[in-house]
């Protein structure tokens, strides 16, 4: 039996975004996930800073304000609007000092791949076979 949504559930706003920067306070040091493999032109991007527990999205509510459900999708380019979770083929670590590890599962578990900082945004690195289009979270490494 379906029950009507409570007022708290009905109050949530959903936003489809290609970055966690508007609320995560990104500076420099983002990890760029690409929809296509390295070297393929016009690939859509998604940009994340810091730890991301689940590439499907995140719900944020500050001080009891209306919750916002952020759904992570790729931005402009080939793959635009596609869910980030389990759809990235390559990544670029644009951090000056931070390393990132991308995981197979949400919650930073399972097979992982390290993306070391190179002092700026350079060529994307393809995901290993186990993680290509099977990636769900990231964590500072």
Q: Which of 24-38, 83-97, 108-122 has the highest mean predicted lDDT (pLDDT)? A: 83-97
DSSP-derived pairing of the beta strands 100-105 and 45-48: unpaired
User: pLDDT grade, residue 69 (50/70/90)?
Assistant: very high
How far, in whole angstroms, is CA 39 from its chain's centroid?
Answer: 20
Give the residue extent of every domain in the chain.
7-140
Asked whether the predicted pLDDT for residue 8 surpasses 60, the reply is: no
Cα(24)–Cα(36) distance, integer angstroms: 25
Q: How many percent of the chain have pLDDT more than 90?
A: 67
How far, in whole angstroms, is CA 27 from its chain's centroid?
Answer: 16
Cα(122)–Cα(119) distance, integer angstroms: 9
Q: Which of 6-10, 62-66, 94-98 has the highest mean predicted lDDT (pLDDT)? A: 94-98
User: pLDDT grade, residue 24 (50/70/90)?
Assistant: low
Q: Which pLDDT score is estimated for 12?
A: 86
What is the average per-residue pLDDT within 92-108? 93
pTM: 0.86
Asked whether the predicted pLDDT for residue 51 surpasses 60, the reply is: yes
Cα(17)–Cα(72) distance, integer angstroms: 5
7-140 fold? Gamma-B Crystallin; domain 1 (2.60.20)
């Amino acid at each position: 039996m379906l029950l009507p949504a409570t007022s708290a559930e009905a109050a949530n706003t959903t936003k489809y975004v290609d970055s966690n920067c508007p609320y995560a306070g990104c500076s420099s040091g983002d990890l760029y996930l690409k929809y296509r493999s390295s070297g393929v032109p016009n690939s859509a991007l998604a940009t994340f800073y810091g730890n991301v527990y689940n590439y499907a999205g995140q719900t944020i509510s500050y001080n009891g304000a209306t919750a916002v459900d952020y759904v992570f999708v790729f931005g402009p380019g080939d793959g635009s609007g596609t869910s980030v979770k389990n759809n990235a083929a390559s990544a670029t670590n644009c951090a000056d000092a931070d390393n990132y590890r991308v995981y197979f599962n949400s919650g930073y578990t399972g097979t992982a791949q390290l993306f070391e900082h190179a002092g700026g945004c350079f060529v994307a690195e393809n995901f290993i076979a186990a993680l290509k289009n099977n990636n769900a979270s990231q964590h500072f490494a």
